[in-house]
Structure 1
């Protein structure tokens, strides 16, 4: 199984300058591919093949040949997915058309070398390279076989990965909030699947980020910490945006505010990412402890769409609620639950979660929950509304009996308080040693 991890590249002026130049070159490659492919379509009324694009872009950019091929592959993947959407009825889906000044730099296994505590990223420099337009015109001529002189170029970054990178298969250099990040893909082994059949349901929410429920046990993980960070970030970003708009463009004060904005985004993103990781880890530990074989997750996708235009959704959601829905990180929760479940040998299924919080397990009717408790007016019994939703999500796929449920409440730990001093010191020492080198 493949997993994606990342670490922040420590700031070093020369290194960041190199990465910025390669990002510019990568953006130029993407823009040229999009422009040439679209011109070919409007001229000949058919799409150019991927192999032809690879030939046209060969020896044209100061990047590794596999990097250029991966950019072309990304374009082709985007184009294919758009074609599939349009054939399925989504006429608003657009083919790639936008040019980009900067683009993430992809590296395949052949362009990555790991030595000691350094990761070497291979690139190329061409002394007499041609533009894509001139390259296309020359390659159309018969008998053209001009050689292009190539020089090898290397970028060295510190190896701050926790895992052994000997089995790395793919990597990308990504720019985010004023810093460069190294994203890498590694192969890991999955655990043997659980033989005994025992299903569980999962209800994703905002106040309670994850609710897991079996027939007789349930786990409710609070999501209030994540929500409070997002609310505070939205408030501070709004204040900073107002201050930036009042400043003179290019002034020192404006640059200070922009740096503060990037710092706030970077810090809050790290906090939210860590809390999501701890929440999903707590959930998977509960599933392993209960020996669950199949997990059914409710899919809330589309709940935030058209909440202002759709009259029915507009009545239910005010401005504050729409902001909460737009900032809800259910996609990250789904992704992490999926790969962590597969690592532990647990089968995962996704179902539509409509009306699962209103269906009554006692009388089979449909009632609206009042507060955090779901009460059955017929049998005069009650159950936690999120636990009821999780069990009903499971019932959409597998049978589950109605029993009394023991509910456990958990809070994801805070990052600074529980991060071990030793681990924090090791990471800090690595970054400081790299900056001084």
Structure 2
């Protein structure tokens, strides 16, 4: 088993290295723009799109970049084209091919071309050109660097390492996790439960949407290329970056609290509701506001964090279908439409925490393949936690 993780490091380059990095990002932007123009030219004339081998041969030695960097950018562009084509075949008419011309673009450096020189990582620029020297942090994770991507003041390292298969204990004690928006996660082992609050993170996302709307309203009254529009673009970028940092930090803390619960209660398996298809085919079934709230949630990122954090303790994370887990009564099995945060069964009168009902039903469904009423009820003891203090965070950091 292998674990691949992308780590982000903020780098500060000296003037000479900064000049080489800017030139490399500019050359990568020129290459991406050329690819966009070629693709647009072929589509308008209904010509066959060139293969990656043809594009690599065509752009060989045309840009001041390493040959593998050019190949990586072409492969990334081809993967983007294939992804958009697949979405369109599935009926997503809003999927758009790459159309924007890039002045700067992040160059990609493959692992076999990277070299280490003491505390520095050398990013090659091709034959006859000095590499970019980037100082690496001291606490670099163990593993093999398979790719590096150079951004504006940031370095994205993709590191892979081999992991031993998780050791499952003889008891094979399991837990259930129900993820949501108001409560990021409700995890239970059938006897105790832990609820991680998500209202603070949701308010941060709502604040970002409102701030972006105000900036967009001001931006619509400016001229393209004006200094005021550039300032508004920078403000919009800073806002998005800050919110991304806040949400990433909150999700890391939430994942750590869930992992701590699993370790404390000696769990070996954690079943989680599969939310991969949450936003598919819901345009006519949910309100516009609900679609916006659900679309801003990052269940995939939380599940990714949980996956590699649990593997360190030998705990398996198994996604299962969460169909009807929040509607089925854990006592009698009757289906109820839930309103509010308290689950109330119309058949037997059972009352419990709404997310707790989903967690125990996911647990029984994961253990037996189906929901078995009457086997596990929502625990009376539920511990409530906040991931991090988020009150005023967006205003304090982005104001």
Query: Structure 2 stretches of 5 or more lacking a match?
Result: 392-399
Q: Is the 8 A contact 1:9 1:158 kept in 2?
A: yes
Cα distance in 1 for partners of 2:227, 2:160 equals 46
Question: Which residue of 180, 190, 193 maps to 1:218?
Answer: 193
String of CA shifts for 1:140-193, please: whole Å, max 9, x gaps: xxxxxxxxxx4123212232363257732211123xxxx432111223343533
Shift of 1:108: 1.1
Query: Structure 1 stretches of 5 or more lacking a match?
Result: 125-149, 417-437
1:182/1:410 CA distance change after superposition, 3 Å: same
Residues 3-402 of structure 1: pairs in structure 2 closer than 5 A: 3-10=5-12, 15-33=17-35, 48-81=50-83, 89-90=90-91, 92=93, 98=99, 100-101=101-102, 102-124=104-126, 150-160=127-137, 162-164=139-141, 167-174=144-151, 179-190=152-163, 192-196=166-170, 197-247=172-222, 252-304=227-279, 309-310=283-284, 312-313=285-286, 317=287, 319=289, 321-399=290-368, 401-402=375-376
Cα distance in 2 for partners of 1:74, 1:207 equals 36
Shift of 1:302: 4.6
Shift of 1:277: 0.9
Q: Is the 8 A contact 1:7 1:181 kept in 2?
A: yes
Q: Is the 8 A contact 1:198 1:294 kept in 2?
A: yes
Shift of 1:393: 2.5
Cα distance in 2 for partners of 1:256, 1:92 equals 33
Larger gyration radius, structure 1 or structure 2: 1
Shift of 1:226: 1.0
Q: Which has the higher helix share?
A: 1
Cα distance in 2 for partners of 1:97, 1:267 equals 26
Shift of 1:404: 5.2
Q: Is the 8 A contact 2:201 2:390 kept in 1?
A: no
SS at match of 2:320: strand
SS at match of 2:237: helix
Task: Give the root-mean-square deviation of aligned CA atoms.
Answer: 3.4
String of CA shifts for 1:201-220, please: whole Å, max 9, x gaps: 22111111111122222211
The residue aligned with 1:131 is: none
Cα distance in 1 for partners of 2:120, 2:329 equals 58
1:74/1:241 CA distance change after superposition, 3 Å: closer
Q: Is the 8 A contact 1:362 1:376 kept in 2?
A: no
Cα distance in 2 for partners of 1:251, 1:76 equals 34
SS at match of 1:66: helix
Cα distance in 2 for partners of 1:97, 1:243 equals 26
Q: Is the 8 A contact 2:27 2:63 kept in 1?
A: yes
1:7/1:51 CA distance change after superposition, 3 Å: same
Cα distance in 1 for partners of 2:251, 2:37 equals 39
String of CA shifts for 1:97-138, please: whole Å, max 9, x gaps: 5364243211112332333443221102xxxxxxxxxxxxxx
1:14/1:251 CA distance change after superposition, 3 Å: farther
SS at match of 1:123: coil
String of CA shifts for 1:289-345, please: whole Å, max 9, x gaps: 2232222222334544565x51x42xxx353x3432232222222222233333433
1:42/1:233 CA distance change after superposition, 3 Å: closer
1:41/1:254 CA distance change after superposition, 3 Å: closer
SS at match of 2:185: strand
Cα distance in 1 for partners of 2:281, 2:122 equals 46
Give TM-score scaled by structure 2 length: 0.81
Cα distance in 2 for partners of 1:244, 1:253 equals 8
